[in-house]
Amino acid sequence: MLEGKVVIVSGSSRGIGATLAKGFASQGAYVVVNYNHSKESAEEVARACEKLGGQAIAIKADVTTEEGVNQLVEETLLTFGRIDVLVNNVFAPYIFDAENRKKAWEMEWQDYEIQLQGGLKAAHLLVQKVLPNMTNYGKGSIINISSNLVEHPVIPYQDYITAKAAIIGYTRSMAKDLGSIGIRMNAVAPGLVYPTAATKSTKEEQKEMLADATPLGRIATPEDIVGPVLFLASDWSGFMTGQTLYVDGGLVMR
Which residue of the set 157, 160, 194, 246 is catalytic? Answer: 160
150-178: b (≥16 Cβ within 10 Å) or e: bbbebbebbbbbbbbbbbbebbbebbeeb
160 is catalytic: yes
Distance (Å, whole) CA 190 – CA 85 = 19
- 10 and 88 in contact (C-beta within 8 Å)? yes
Amino acid at 248: D
Distance (Å, whole) CA 111 – CA 163 = 10
Distance (Å, whole) CA 167 – CA 124 = 9
Cα torsion at 15, 20, 26, 29 (round to 10°)? -130
- 119 and 167 in contact (C-beta within 8 Å)? yes
Residue 156: asked if its preceding bond is cis (omega within 30°), the reply is no
By annotation, the residues acting in catalysis are 160
